[in-house]
Amino acid sequence: MAETLPTTNGVRENKIWKGIFAVSGIMITLVIYGVLQEKIMRVPYGLNKEYFKYSLFLVFCNRITTSAVSAGSLLASKKALDPVAPVYKYCLISVSNILTTTCQYEALKYVSFPVQTLAKCAKMIPVMIWGTFIMQKTYKGFDYLVAFLVTLGCSIFILFPEGTDMSPYSKGRENTVWGVSLMVGYLGFDGFTSTFQDKLFKGYNMEIHNQIFYTTLCSCVLSLTGLILQGHLLPAIDFVYRHNDCFLDIALLSTVATASQFFISYTIRTFGALTFAAIMTTRQLVSIMLSCVWFGHPLSWEQWIGAVIVFGSLYTKNFLKKASPKPPSPRQTQNGASSPVKGIP
């Protein structure tokens, strides 16, 4: 017994260090990512106070960085670059993922980052809906109760903003309606991406970097095509050329977005989807608090109540599932952690 004790302590200590690495990696990269995306889309640049309006350009920069890193990882590990699944399947995921990210960036023009971040907590609702129709999954009554409470909390948070927290792009209730519509689009496309990805890639034995590489490569081509067709490519490049600080912000945004994928993949593989969901819930709470302090977003007392309802429901769900004798597998979780690729910001 005495001989096995050091080994047990060593394993426990090793797991603690792995946990610290995973938590700090996700928190640092995604909190920085959240702050940067709000800064790029809502804070003016230069003496003339110009706003960056080309959200699809951000998608393109993020995806080309992630694609390059994934290709490098495949080459360094001497893994084949050949697609495992038919290319059109990667493209289907890419289209949905581009729409998800574009809605996310565009929404920041009309709603504050705290509103957007809290609304993301409601992603379990479209995941449940798509899971029912596409995967024929069934859910327990408790899952529907949590979904209802999260929806209630998000609704309170969105409908009762502090009057002084205005969008730089427009004023009045119209901006809230359009911003909420974009967030509904984000949630719908995001839920479809993760669910449809589960269905499409089931049965394929592929490396995570292979999946990320081809999905992001397709996203690069599609987002570049969209930029050219909209006539936004040259104006975006010109804006970044004239504002060096914007260039640095976009470069850092792409870097942390790519780095976050490693930490997401590592966390799910090492600790499971349930731990990942708890970390992501905490990250969202920290991001909201940091955004309120950094960018001066005042919160009304109704919004505080809404936030407590949302995060209280999510933490309760995570705690009860952790206490259950048979925790769900990563593919069954309803917190959007079914696959690391789905988590691409």
Distance CA 92, CA 196 (A): 9
Is residue 199 one of the residues assigned to a domain? yes
Cβ contact 130:192 at 8 Å: yes
Q: In the block, which residue shows the tokens 């993922």?
A: 97
Output the tens digit of pLDDT for each of the chain's 345 residues. 444 455 666 677 777 888 888 888 888 998 898 889 888 988 899 888 899 999 999 999 999 999 999 888 888 887 767 888 888 888 888 898 899 888 888 888 887 777 777 777 777 777 778 777 776 777 788 878 887 888 788 777 766 766 555 455 555 444 567 877 888 888 888 878 777 776 766 667 767 777 788 888 999 999 999 999 999 999 999 999 999 999 999 999 999 988 887 887 787 777 765 566 667 777 777 777 777 777 666 777 887 888 888 888 877 877 777 666 554 444 444 444 344 344 556
Q: At what angle do helices 4-42 and 87-107 cross, to 10 degrees?
A: 60
pTM summary value: 0.70
Give the pair of three-digit tokens for residue 254. Answer: 């792409």
Is residue 239 one of the residues assigned to a domain? yes
Beta partners for residue 50, in sequence order: 45
> What domain range is 117 assigned to?
24-45+53-322
Integer-rounded Cα radius of gyration of the chain: 20
Is residue 5 one of the residues assigned to a domain? no
Is residue 283 one of the residues assigned to a domain? yes
Is residue 6 one of the residues assigned to a domain? no
Tally Cβ neighbours within 10 Å of residue 224: 17
Number of domains making up the chain: 1
Is residue 9 one of the residues assigned to a domain? no
Give the pair of three-digit tokens for residue 267. Answer: 């966390």
Is residue 134 one of the residues assigned to a domain? yes
3-state class (DSSP) for residue 51 = coil
Give the pair of three-digit tokens for residue 212. Answer: 């990320």
